[in-house]
Structure 1
Amino acid sequence: MKPLDTTTATRARMSRQKSRDTQVEVALRKALHAAGLRYRVHRRPVPAVRREADIVFVGAKVAVFVDGCFWHGCPEHATWPRNNAEFWRTKIEGNRQRDIDTDSRLAEAGWLPVRVWEHEAVDVAAERVRAAVDSRRTR
């Protein structure tokens, strides 16, 4: 098998992976809404930057990204597949680099990027996001 070849079963399994409105993302949005925060969902914080945040607080300029442990290479839970190892390492490392680039571009535009890992407790993550939004609103 060449590095980019995948099996039919792998392609089918990966195509079923949700990229938006995941369980964690919806739970976080519910917690933020219950805390009285209002936001936009799946928007580009900076139109010129082709990156979409999961939750956007326009007035406070806070962009929240809910990152999956596998896809973004979580330091606690990342797994490195043995099949197509080179392909997956390149893919995940590319995602990490894009995340760093996104955070940098948003910061340059005056935005505060907040990253939430999918394994984080929703109440803890919601409090972290709320604190970030509040800190930006009082400036």
Structure 2
Amino acid sequence: MSAEKRSQLMGRIRSKDTGPERIVAAMLRVHRFKFEQHARDLPGRPDFVFRSRHLVILVDGDFWHGWRFPAWQHKLAPFWREKIAANRARDLRNIRRLRRSGWIVVRVWEHQLRRSVPAVRERLLDALRASAPGRARTARPC
């Protein structure tokens, strides 16, 4: 594939309003949660922000954010291996910065939505209920 053709294809890949993000947004709206999307003032511009609950939801694509990256990185050209490794390092840095600032971070992977939207919905609802304003906040893993 030529560099020009690859550039055209890559240019069509969205970074906002992706299919997985739309699924999560729809399930949150059904339950009437109010949220911000892609808040510029927070590290990594989280996909969904619930300021009063101090909770963010990150919706990550398996390829771009390197789900199980060590298992398949050897199949990639050096450029892509470095690109995804840098994405993973940036994600980790942003998650740490958010947590240090007191945010609860919930990470949803693309494959989790493909496997079971109801399971993801329950996980998000549990996190949102537990972080309701006025409740004591405890750190939880991604």
Task: Please report the TM-score for the alignment, with normalisation by the length of structure 1.
Answer: 0.83
Gapped runs of 5+ residues in structure 1? 1-5
Change (3 A) 1:118 1:28: same
Matched, 1:127 2:122: yes
TM-aligned CA deviation for residue 66 of structure 1: 0.7
Q: Which amino acid aligns with 2:30?
A: A
Q: How does 1:73-92 map to 2 (within 5 A)?
A: 73-75=66-68, 80=73, 85-92=77-84
**Bigger fraction of residues in strand:** 1
CA distance in 2, matches of 1:8, 1:81: 25
For residue 36 of structure 2, what is the aligned residue in structure 1? 40
**Superposed CA offset, 1:10-64 (max 9, x none):** 11110000100011101111111112322111114xx3x5420111111111111
Task: Provide Cα deviations, 1:73-115, integer angstroms capped at 9, x if missing partner.
Answer: 1128x854856x1111111011111111111100110001111
Distance 1:130 1:136 in 2: 10
Which runs of 4 or more aligned residues in structure 1 lie more than 4 Å from their structure 2 counterparts after TM superposition? Answer: 78-83
Alignment gaps of 5+ in structure 2: 137-142
Distance 1:130 1:53 in 2: 18
Q: Report the RMSD for the aligned CA atoms in angstroms.
A: 2.0
Q: SS of the counterpart of 1:128?
A: helix
- Identity across the alignment (%): 34
Q: Which has the higher helix share?
A: 2
Q: Does 1:8 align with 2:4?
A: yes
Aligned residues: 129
Deviates more, 1:128-137 or 1:94-103: 128-137
- CA contact under 8 A between 2:44 and 2:91: conserved in structure 1? no
Question: What TM-score results when the alignment is normalised by the length of structure 2?
Answer: 0.81
1:58-137 aligned within 5 A: 58-75=51-68, 80=73, 85-121=77-113, 122-137=117-132
Which structure exhibits the higher relative contact order, with contacts defined as CA atoms closer than 8 Å and separated by 6 or more residues?
A: 1
